Amino acid sequence: MIEKFIPESLQKWAESKVDCNTKIDKLMRFYAEAVNCPRCFVYLRQPELKKANTTHAWWSEDRFAIGWESWYSYDWFDDGNAAVEDPMYGEAMLSPEPLYINDVESDTSGLVNAEFERKIFKHSALLHAPIYHAGKLFGILEPSAFEKPRVWSEADRAITSWTLARLGPIAAEYVTIYGPK
19-32 pLDDT per residue, tens = 999 999 999 999 99
Position 1 scores a pLDDT of: 63
pTM, two decimals, is 0.92
- Is residue 172 classed exposed, middle or buried when 0-12, 13-18 and 19+ CB atoms within 10 A define those classes? buried
Of 104, 98, 94, 22, whose CA–CA distance to 67 is shortest?
A: 104
7-23 pLDDT per residue, tens = 999 999 999 999 999 99
CATH of residue 115's domain is: 3.30.450.40
Q: What is the rounded distance in angstroms from the CA atom of residue 115 to the CA atom of residue 134?
A: 33
35-82 pLDDT per residue, tens = 999 999 999 999 999 999 999 999 998 888 866 665 556 688 888 777
Position 70 scores a pLDDT of: 56
The boundaries of the domain holding residue 63 are 2-178
Position 69 scores a pLDDT of: 60
Domains: count for the chain: 1
